[in-house]
Chains A and B, each alone.
Chain A
């Protein structure tokens, strides 16, 4: 029993020595670790993320890999459970010895893993939304999706252009809804927006006319914002029209999918919301820098999986491409060098926007990443 650790130690030493003298070891694959919520309540986010990663790792390998080395995807499904995410991240770091970690479908699973990656010193790119992931900046943690604060800023900027200053807010009770509501309240002042009514509804609520009636009767209300996710916004939109309210209604990027229009039906006409370029790939003007990227991704994804593309899969695309780009620039899969290269990402054109990272900004997106959309004739149209 005593010689076992000794042997292992010797083997490791030998391997290290070999690695140092013979660059042949560079033929080993670069290990990309991923933990995603492929099942469970966040499955509609995690599922397209996993499919996207698999598809592009395959494609990159078919084209010869990165720096002459193949990519090897080591993926786990955390089922949306933060505890499991932590366990899997530990396994990725300690047993699988991955070179970089992608994932964290939700803010909860991401934040559970942050202490681990910070301690281990391994670059980590999250696909979850909340601002807390990159604020304050954490040395090894990056993220690809835009934040809810940016969505609020985009909405308020649009309101300012339309000279709408007094607004009502109606928010859901979910995590996304609450977080976005707080962010909106926080940035409203910056845009000279006054919130004259602030209502909420429960996750399973089926009727919001009471709340909307209150907003309608609030003095001077000129527009309504609905930070919401899931079924709530569709019902709010229906009730809004039912009450004959004809002030502008803004929804959030949380419902930026065809399903929202299907659910709300004719009531959705005229609703505005901020969304990523991916959703409106075809109608983007040809001089839009993002157009080739989003059209190509959409085509590849929809062609292979026969289901509609979502922004969530796009976040995974961006995470993988930023990682690959950084590894190329770093010239190796060395963790510290890759981290520095990710931080130095400039002008990367992805599905979520144009990414310019810096030591102070580990997301690198600005509000230009959001397009303001309006529902016209049962489909999305770009505003202006």
Chain B
């Protein structure tokens, strides 16, 4: 029995050490069985897995569309499809990847699974709402699929008016699908904010909250505030198509550029919805595999919030050549640079965390290193694009395509894959094959660079995006890019194979294979049905690698269930004494 000695004014709290069970028999996967037990589950972990399966399917669909695009671009004229089919391909690739994969990815899969565990809770604040979010996502996805089947969409994922209000196809169904998915996103954000505020275990003060949770907190704020604007905008597009209300149609006195303002007011912050949770994953992994306390905890936590806040004020940098006022462009350019600063601060903090660490190059860490490079390139080309004059020439060329793929795939997807490998043992209870993991990481890294580095060059040379035909001088760049896309595709398939294979053939995962101090690692693998059988008590920060592991395995000795009254006492107690008996 260990005792935490509180300062004289405080009540003493009895804690004891709960070592994770190496051979737990029940876990969240086998506690119930049958399809219905999944479809009706309110367990945040199972909901996370349902999201994971859905997202994996859509990621694969979006990836196949991307390969279709790249193969078509092998020759300057038609290669195997017509222009109209090509236009649908890139529209669907964008819409599926953004709305069905990137926006939900980290929050709904890894966030759902690990946010409650990292704060020592048994579930999110509103488990039923969480399940409802999943079904809204599924309903929205179904509407989008219906749009694809019933006529297709050729507007580009940006739905610019008046093209989107005048073209044929099933644009109305598509925007309705996205409208519904938006609510899923809003409700997830709401759930996370309440969970972080109200469900933290005793001792988890704001300064001991994991940086992954901080990043999800910042993301949730954006989801709640920005997504409604997208919903309204898309509803207006639908009304314009059905009723001809004339908000955006110049023939009826509307303004097509207004749509762009509305759209980017959501879609720029949405970029941060996608990338900020990735930052959270990086912070978790870089500390674990450097075995070192995070450098600049507050700088990283607050920079997430700063990015979330300033991110709302930069939408106009998508519109430097749209005809908006020069003064507006100037302000948007300035604020865009200001987003770059907190992002840069994060990079330097992560590097400083590695300094004098004990760095282990396991697969998750390899992905993080590749994230560092790719995200640096993506971020710095973003700085170039924030410079108004430079953007004029590069706007809507392949340079922009390469830039956002570096941020979204090189940054976000790489971080997601890092997180998937890192947390896989806790999710599946199995270890993936380390060697294959490293090889697939290499394929993804090489394939990605071969695909997108040439696109910077051809963009700067003037190759516009969304082009079915192109002039001959760009062919060699396009061909290299297509080869790269194939390598990248092989890399993703290897990742997929490795993870699936491990479920059947992988070694059993120990509770804490990486020696992490994170709370989610202090329970059995796969996670127990209710995460913690005890109420965890936290006395150190989540990255205090200089403190013994035993200190991170404490729980209330007597009471069960959460009683916030204890939180304050443990928090004030700086002199924890562990007396193992």
Partners in one complex: no
